């Protein structure tokens, strides 16, 4: 698993970070927190080295073996050439520990996701998805395959509790077509994967 | 990944509020998290130490904590009023290594917050997380009672990922433990603290 290629984090640090975000939200509101999350995810991606690959298969191989910045924090499994799936959310351990030790997730995490869904794109269930989607988008832009930059787009997100967030039908169908999967296949993936996403040359 | 992204967030916060603002922020987060942990009561030190060993106390959220039952803190009457506790690994060390392998290097923001805390609050931090951590422990100790007495927490010593060690002479004196004993513990542990019954008259109290 990609996460095990670098040491596992102590979930306490993740819990503290969630509380940190809750404190920011108390100060700057939901839209302000959204801006912080987007900014920190972009900064994180921009602090990572750029990548270049000769061919798409070479890039896919780096993705699946955890060598790409896009697979630093998650195990990426290609479904087709352009459709990727993530088995376990990189935030799952932190969430479990938060639920076990602290209690129910503060409502602001869902509220900021709703704000993001409304303002940016409708694929976040909770605050950490704002980070994840923004990070993947910014990280993809740092990857070149041949002479073209890579572009990321989320298809569907499932949270630990099973809640699924999908774009509306009119936007979903073209995404599935570009990803090369059917709606039925998407449903099959979402049963036991946390994310399904699209990656292609820009 | 949110732990690695935390450094970027702190960089951002330093720009907006300065390192001293981040220290205040971290301390407030420590208070908030502690306030959500709830109260705990134990019949005596034996039951508390078993709970610590089994990971059942609020302190267990940090990871594996070892009660050093051979290192008791005694009061003027010779009664045990506390013990030393230690963690083999600092909670933040995995994140430092994760950042090293994900990004390439640790953000200078970590050092900026650490230095601010050491210079102006308590010279014990080896990373920015210590700022949150010390306050969090102090606050949860107030919510834990042993034999009906609430506890106080004193952070005694820390050792960072680079080997840098810090000992708090003030807190070591407070619990009347020999500094050399604490230094010896740092060979095997990265974070050592004492939990003592609040208001106890420690032997050798000054």
> Is residue B189 scored above 90 in pLDDT?
yes
Residues B95-100: what's their mean pLDDT?
88
Nearest CA in chain A to B133: A16
B202 occurs within a structural domain: no
B54 CB-contact burial (10 Å; exposed 0-12 / middle 13-18 / buried 19+): exposed
Domain count, chain A: 1
What Å distances lie between residue A60 and A52, A57, A76, CA to CA? 12, 5, 9
What CA–CA distance (Å, rounded) separates A176 from A172?
Answer: 6
pLDDT at B106: 83
> pTM for the complete prediction?
0.86
pLDDT at A4: 46
CA distance B206 to chain A (A): 36
pLDDT at B9: 84
pLDDT at A1: 45
Whole domain around residue B56: which residue ranges? 2-197
What CA–CA distance (Å, rounded) separates A176 from A181?
Answer: 5
Domain count, chain B: 1
What CA–CA distance (Å, rounded) separates B174 from B167?
Answer: 13
A4 occurs within a structural domain: no
ipTM reported for the complex surpasses 0.95? no
Rama region for B159: left / alpha / beta (φ>0; ψ in -120 to 50; rest)? beta
What CA–CA distance (Å, rounded) separates B104 from A48?
Answer: 7
B93 occurs within a structural domain: yes
B204 occurs within a structural domain: no
Residues of chain A predicted below pLDDT 50: 1-4
**Rounded CA Rg of chain A:** 16
> Is residue B108 scored above 60 in pLDDT?
yes
B105 occurs within a structural domain: yes
What CA–CA distance (Å, rounded) separates A157 from A86?
Answer: 10
Question: Which of A19, A36, A69 is opposite residue B33, by nearest beta carbon?
Answer: A19
Whole domain around residue A14: which residue ranges? 10-201
CB A91 within 8 A of CB A109: no
CA distance A70 to chain B (A): 10
For B187, half-sphere exposure in the C-beta direction (CA atoms, 13 angstrom radius) is 4
Comparing C-alpha atoms, which of A171, A74, A159 is closest to residue A124? A159
A2 occurs within a structural domain: no
Nearest CA in chain B to A9: B94
B56 occurs within a structural domain: yes
Average pLDDT, chain A: 92
Helix (H) or strand (E) holding B11: helix B2-35
- Beta-carbon separation of A9 and B94 below 8 A: yes
pLDDT at B102: 86
Contacts of B22 in chain A (CB under 8 A): none
pLDDT-derived band at B206, boundaries 50, 70, 90: very low
Kindly report, residue by residue over B41-87, the tens digit of the pLDDT.
999 999 999 999 999 999 998 889 999 999 999 999 989 999 999 99
Kindly report, residue by residue over B133-148, the tens digit of the pLDDT.
999 999 999 999 999 9
What Å distances lie between residue A198 and A27, A137, B186, B194, CA to CA? 35, 10, 49, 52
Q: What is the CATH number of the domain that holds A121?
A: 3.30.1380
What Å distances lie between residue B174 and B18, B30, B69, B70, B73, CA to CA? 32, 22, 19, 18, 10
User: How much of chain B, in percent, has pLDDT values that exceed 70?
Assistant: 98
Contacts of B25 in chain A (CB under 8 A): 20, 23
Higher pLDDT, B5 or B167: B167
Quick one: tokens of B144? 């834990």
A5 occurs within a structural domain: no
pLDDT at B141: 96
Contacts of A135 in chain B (CB under 8 A): 1, 5
What CA–CA distance (Å, rounded) separates B34 from A110?
Answer: 22
pLDDT at A9: 86
The bridge status of strand A51-53 relative to strand A143-145 is parallel
B26 occurs within a structural domain: yes
pLDDT at B37: 87
- Beta-carbon separation of A10 and B26 below 8 A: no
């Amino acid at each position: 698993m990609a996460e095990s290629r670098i040491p596992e984090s102590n979930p306490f640090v993740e819990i503290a970070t969630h509380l940190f975000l809750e404190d920011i939200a108390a100060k700057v509101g939901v839209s302000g927190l959204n801006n912080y999350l987007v900014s920190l995810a972009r900064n994180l991606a921009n602090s990572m080295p750029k990548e270049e690959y000769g061919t798409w298969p070479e890039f896919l191989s780096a993705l699946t073996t955890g060598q790409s910045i896009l697979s630093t924090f998650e195990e990426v499994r290609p479904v087709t050439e352009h459709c990727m799936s993530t088995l376990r959310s990189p935030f799952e351990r932190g969430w479990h520990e938060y639920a076990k030790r602290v209690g129910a997730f503060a409502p602001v995490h869902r509220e900021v996701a709703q704000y993001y869904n409304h303002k940016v794109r409708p694929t976040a269930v909770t605050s950490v998805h704002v980070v994840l989607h923004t990070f993947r988008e910014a990280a993809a832009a740092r990857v070149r395959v041949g002479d073209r930059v890579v572009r990321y787009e989320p298809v569907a997100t499932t949270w630990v509790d099973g809640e699924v967030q999908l774009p509306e039908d009119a936007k979903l169908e073209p995404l599935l077509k570009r990803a090369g999967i059917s709606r039925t296949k998407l449903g099959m993936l979402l049963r036991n994967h946390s994310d399904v996403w699209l990656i292609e040359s820009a | 990944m949110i732990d690695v992204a935390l450094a970027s967030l702190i960089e951002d916060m330093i720009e907006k509020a300065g390192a001293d603002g981040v220290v205040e922020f971290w301390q407030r987060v420590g208070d908030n998290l502690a306030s959500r942990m709830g109260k705990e009561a134990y019949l005596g030190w034996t039951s508390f130490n078993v709970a610590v060993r089994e990971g059942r106390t609020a302190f267990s959220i940090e990871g594996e904590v070892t009660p050093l039952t051979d290192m008791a803190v005694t009061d003027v009457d010779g009664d045990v009023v506390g013990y030393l506790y230690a963690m083999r690994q600092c909670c933040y060390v995995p994140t430092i290594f994760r950042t090293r392998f994900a990004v390439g290097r640790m953000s200078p923001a970590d050092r900026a917050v650490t230095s601010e805390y050491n210079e102006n609050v308590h010279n014990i931090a080896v990373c920015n997380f210590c700022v949150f951590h010390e306050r969090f422990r102090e606050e949860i100790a107030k919510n834990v009672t042993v034999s009906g007495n609430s506890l106080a927490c004193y952070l005694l010593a820390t050792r960072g990922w680079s080997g840098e060690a810090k000992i708090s002479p003030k807190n070591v004196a407070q619990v009347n433990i020999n500094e050399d004993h604490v230094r010896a513990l740092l060979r095997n542990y990265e974070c050592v603290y004492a939990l003592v019954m609040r208001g106890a008259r420690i032997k050798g109290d000054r």
